[in-house]
Structure 1
Amino acid sequence: MRTACRSLAVLLALAGGACTGDLGRPRPNLWSDTIAPQAGFWSATFRGEAASYFRMTDDEEQLRDRAWRLVMPAHERNLFERQVSDLAHARILPVAVQSNAASDYFRGLTGGSYASQASRYNRLAEDANADRLLVTPFRGNAARVVAADRVRMRTVEGSPLVPPEKADPAMARVVENEGLILWVCERVGFRIESYRYALANLVVEMPSREAIKAERSIMALEAEAGPLCKLPLIGAFGGAGRAQEPAEKAPKPPVVYKG
């Protein structure tokens, strides 16, 4: 147990020390370009999760970049949770280690000093709007990846020129891609739940007409998240082959990338 705790502390320190670029994503560096991907591959393999050695397409790389912001905690003050989520995004840690406490965002939102209660409501509306603007391009990106995966698997199954040993890593990549889409859908649902929790508690603590603006922003995010979570998938995880709707009350358990 002590060894595991020390290892986690080292990983958190390395992840937390990475500089950030656009939208808070880690800038390309030795950690994000080399160490984290390799560590994530071997960590996922050790846990028995699907992990492919195939090089990623441009769309697959972009899908992971776009996912980063949506799977992170919604408020930057949740520092520990952000570092854990960063390691989960790299697959160094399993996604199950992420916090599922809807109160996390509210604590971050109210943890600092603001000029007035309007500032808190405005920040809530801004965060919901920022998520909404990210969901649409992620959905388009995901649709392209799923379409390419359909071609990939048809070629694996139908072409005599593809060696049989490439079937497993090809399917592993499909599982990775669909698992990421399902994870983003689940975390967007969790963000919506967190925003609603924060709004309800803000109204109780400090009622304001600004609550109307925040409520509308959350509703707009919900409307945008719906099509993402209905995106037709190949069905690598079984079921109907589509992402699930975001939970309205309790968040669903995180997706595990099992093969």
Structure 2
Amino acid sequence: MFDFITLGRTVLVALALATLSGCVARPVGDFGRAQPGVLHDTIMPYAGDQLARVRKEPVSDFNQTDQEVLMHDRTWRFLVAAHGKDWMFDSSVELQRTRIGRARDYQFSTDRYYTWLRTTEYRSSPTRYSTVGRHILADLDTLPATFQSICAVLEVDRQRRVALAEIGGLEQGVADNVAARRAENQWHIDWFVRALTYRYDSYDYALDHLLVETPHEQSISVDESLRRMRPWVDRANRGDFCSGATAVGTGGGVTIPSRYQTMRIDTEVVVQK
């Protein structure tokens, strides 16, 4: 039976320390990587595990493999967006990651990124297109390694199941831990898929609205980058992390016009009064 008083104190201490540290959001170090620390790596995850058990969710006592640690490191940048000033809700993401709070990313709306773009002051409007383009390219640069890390974790889960089936005499707790860790890993992979899809939809929404607000030919390169990202999104939603394909669509040599090039030009002559 859980000691709810101790649990409550643990959660309160974790949240109090997070508040005193300045923000619940996980701190970011060099190159956008998660910055290690006792609060976010030990205290908050411990409190989250206890709360997850109270909610009757699977919690594994297994140590993480190197592959699982790497997957968490690779996928983390897709769950937050420090460059967007919390447009992906960094604080709630950290509470979700540590399992102190339930999943909330289902509630994210795709207009938040565009709102951040249009309210950020730039010297010229085409710079907003450059910003979207940089963010998409940053995602594209890290997607191959991220998919490989997820594939490696799927293989680890498979090897656990094989070992469990072949080794006899193990206590029930081992089987329970295997099932719980597999559920935890799949939960994290599903979260990454939703985050990647959300990013794509947010970029797409922003590009469409920028074309209306501040039309510019620079949108052509952004549109091309977004089309390169689409196959990765499709693969993720199919659960295809291990095919080894580059996911950069060949297109058979056919160049599809960008949305800027296919815009209908208004030829109406407006008489100046």
Distance 1:199 1:138, change over 3 A: same
| Residues 1-259 of structure 1: pairs in structure 2 closer than 5 A | 10=16, 13=19, 14=21, 15-16=23-24, 19-73=27-81, 75-78=83-86, 81-96=89-104, 99-231=107-239
Higher deviation after alignment, 30-39 or 19-28: 19-28
Cα distance in 2 between the residues matched to 1:195 and 1:62 = 26
What letter corresponds to residue 162 of structure 1 in structure 2? L
Distance 1:41 1:103, change over 3 A: same
Cα distance in 2 between the residues matched to 1:202 and 1:161 = 63
Q: How many correspondences in the alignment? A: 229
What letter corresponds to residue 180 of structure 1 in structure 2? H
Q: In structure 1, the residue corresponding to 2:104 is in which secondary structure?
A: helix
Is 1:74–1:191's contact at 8 Å kept on the other side of the alignment?
no
Q: Shift in Å at residue 201 of structure 1?
A: 0.8
Distance 1:128 1:213, change over 3 A: same
Q: Shift in Å at residue 24 of structure 1?
A: 2.8
Q: Tell me which residue corresponds to 1:243.
A: none
Q: Shift in Å at residue 10 of structure 1?
A: 4.5
What letter corresponds to residue 222 of structure 1 in structure 2? R
What letter corresponds to residue 128 of structure 2 in structure 1? R
Cα distance in 2 between the residues matched to 1:63 and 1:93 = 21
Higher deviation after alignment, 13-22 or 92-101: 13-22
Distance 1:138 1:224, change over 3 A: same
What letter corresponds to residue 220 of structure 2 in structure 1? I
Higher deviation after alignment, 72-81 or 46-55: 72-81
Distance 1:150 1:71, change over 3 A: same
Q: In structure 2, the residue corresponding to 1:20 is in which secondary structure?
A: coil
Distance 1:229 1:17, change over 3 A: closer
Cα deviation per residue 1:16-44 (whole Å; 9 max; x = unaligned)? 47542144333111112211221221222
Cα deviation per residue 1:146-203 (whole Å; 9 max; x = unaligned)? 1111110121123114222211111100011111111111111111111111111111
Q: Shift in Å at residue 116 of structure 1?
A: 0.8
Q: TM-score, normalised by structure 2?
A: 0.76
Which has the higher Rg, Structure 1 or Structure 2? Answer: 2
Q: TM-score, normalised by structure 1?
A: 0.79
Greater RCO between the two (CA within 8 Å, min separation 6)?
1
Q: Shift in Å at residue 56 of structure 1?
A: 0.3
Gaps of 5+ in 2: 1-7, 242-273
What letter corresponds to residue 45 of structure 1 in structure 2? R
Higher deviation after alignment, 108-117 or 42-51: 42-51
CA RMSD of aligned residues (A): 2.6
Is 1:73–1:105's contact at 8 Å kept on the other side of the alignment?
no
Q: In structure 2, the residue corresponding to 1:33 is in which secondary structure?
A: helix
Is 2:61–2:177's contact at 8 Å kept on the other side of the alignment?
yes
